[in-house]
């Protein structure tokens, strides 16, 4: 069985109890095993209640976030870096309190288009800061999964290879890559090869189409991706991520440039995505078996 998750923004960008409950029920009833939430402010959301509902439904949970400009840990301003470190610590605490183990997203730099190239000093500041957060995250049982995003959303980690170099520099054992097929489709020379090359450091995977809508209706090479995931023995979550103007999170919709309506019916979308991912992985497994099995041509 494949472990398939869904980002809560497929359901709603709201964080009222009613909206969260609806997102949980929809996730569960369509057969998804994990729900991913963008960072939720514990001052606004009853985290204890939410953790209880997640557990009652037998779901897993992940939290994702992107650092804001005022919390950019590549900054030369120590106050900005300290703010970013505190934001990351709060997110780690939320993952722990909500019953999860994975913090994902853009954790090493600000999320958004930058006007300047990253400097060596910026890289080093980020590595040193994230290593400290990782140390504390370890005692909370939380891994940090660095989302590799395209050039328009960060000036830091745009390819899996860059992410591997960053992880090496942190020296931390609980820092991994969070790969996303939408971003990889833009930046990687070969998405399948990139997955194979990063195999032992992949911690989390987003499945998204090139226009962020229905899977299979854009230009992402899902055959190559599912083949690679099967080849590396990936047995952890792949999470469906899709955005449309039908559901708008003020901050994230602007940063990810969601200007078009790719769908209105989120139930139809999510049902299709689950079937698409499950069948894609199953087909890749059958292919892998076929090319390694030598059923005889000889009759008895
Ligand atoms: Mn993503």
pLDDT of the chain, 300 residues: tens digit per residue: 689 999 999 999 999 999 999 999 999 999 999 999 999 999 999 999 999 999 999 999 999 999 999 999 999 999 999 999 999 999 999 999 999 999 999 999 999 999 999 999 999 999 999 999 999 999 999 999 999 999 999 999 999 999 999 999 999 999 999 999 999 999 999 999 999 999 999 999 999 999 999 999 999 999 999 999 999 999 999 999 999 898 888 888 898 998 999 999 999 999 999 999 999 999 999 999 999 988 777 776
Query: How far, in whole angstroms, is CA 187 from its chain's centroid?
Result: 16
Rounded to whole angstroms, the Cα distance separating 230 from 238 reads 12
Distance 174 CA to ligand 1 centre (A): 20
Q: For the domain bounded by 4-290, which CATH number is listed?
A: 3.20.20.150
Catalytic residue list contains 241: yes
The confidence score (pLDDT) of residue 2 equals: 80
CA 91 vs CA 62, 97, 134, 144, 191: distances in Å: 11, 10, 12, 10, 29
Question: What is the distance in A from the centroid of ligand 1 to the CA of 105?
Answer: 7
pTM to 2 decimal places: 0.96
SS3 assignment, position 221? coil
How far, in Å, is the centroid of ligand 1 from the Cα of 46?
A: 25
Taking the centre of ligand 1 as the mean of its atom positions, its distance from the CA of residue 290, in whole angstroms, is 32
Residues 204, 267, 227, 219: is their CA dihedral positive or negative?
negative
Ligand 1: centre distance to CA 213 (Å): 13
CA distance 14 to 106: 21
- Residue in 147, 153, 188, 209 annotated catalytic: 147
Please give the distance, rounded to the nearest whole angstrom, from the Cα atom of residue 244 to the centre of ligand 1.
Answer: 14
HSE on the CB side for 232, CA within 13 Å? 20
Say how far apart CA 79 and CA 22 lie, in whole Å. Answer: 39
pLDDT at 1: 61
The CA 29 to ligand 1 mean position distance, Å, reads 23
For the chain, the domains span 4-290
pLDDT of residue 300: 66
Of 203, 252, 258, 193, the closest CA to residue 227 belongs to 193
Whole-angstrom distance, CA of residue 160 vs CA of residue 198: 7
Report the first-to-last Cα separation within the chain, whole angstroms. Answer: 35
| Eight-state DSSP code of residue 118 | P
Q: Which one, of 150, 156, 154, 155, lies nearest residue 191 by Cα?
A: 150
pLDDT score recorded for residue 295? 72
Return the bridge partners of 95, or none.
none
Task: List Cα–Cα distances, 260 to 214, 237, 257, in angstroms.
Answer: 13, 28, 9
Catalytic residue of the set 36, 188, 209, 241: 241
What spacing in Å lies between the alpha carbon of 147 and ligand 1's midpoint? 7
- Locate 9 and state its tokens: 């923004």
């Amino acid at each position: 069985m494949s472990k398939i998750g869904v980002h809560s923004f497929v359901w709603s960008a709201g964080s009222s109890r009613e909206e969260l409950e609806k997102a949980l029920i929809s996730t569960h009833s369509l057969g998804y095993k994990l729900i991913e939430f963008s960072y939720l402010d514990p001052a606004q959301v009853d985290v204890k209640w939410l953790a209880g509902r997640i557990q009652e439904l037998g779901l897993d949970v992940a939290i994702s976030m992107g650092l804001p400009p005022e919390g950019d840990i590549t900054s030369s301003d120590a106050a900005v870096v300290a703010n970013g470190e505190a934001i990351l610590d709060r997110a780690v605490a939320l993952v722990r309190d909500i019953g999860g183990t994975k913090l994902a997203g853009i954790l090493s730099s600000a999320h958004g288009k930058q006007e300047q190239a990253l400097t060596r000093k910026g890289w080093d500041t980020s590595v040193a800061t994230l290593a400290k957060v990782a140390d504390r995250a370890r005692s909370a049982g939380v891994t940090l999964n660095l989302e590799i995003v395209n050039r328009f959303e960060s000036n830091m980690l745009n390819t899996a290879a860059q992410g591997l170099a960053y992880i090496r520099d942190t020296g931390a054992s609980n820092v991994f890559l969070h790969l996303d097929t939408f971003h990889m489709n833009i930046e990687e020379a070969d998405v399948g090869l990139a997955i194979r090359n990063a195999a032992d450091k992949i911690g989390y995977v987003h499945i998204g189409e090139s226009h962020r809508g229905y899977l299979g209706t854009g230009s992402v090479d899902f055959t190559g991706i599912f083949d690679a995931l099967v080849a590396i023995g990936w047995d952890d979550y792949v999470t469906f991520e899709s955005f449309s103007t039908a559901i708008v999170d003020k901050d994230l919709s602007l940063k990810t440039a969601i200007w078009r309506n790719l769908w209105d019916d989120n139930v139809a979308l999510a049902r299709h995505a689950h079937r698409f991912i499950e069948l894609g992985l199953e087909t890749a497994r059958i292919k892998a078996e076929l090319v390694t099995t030598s059923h005889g041509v000889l009759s008895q």
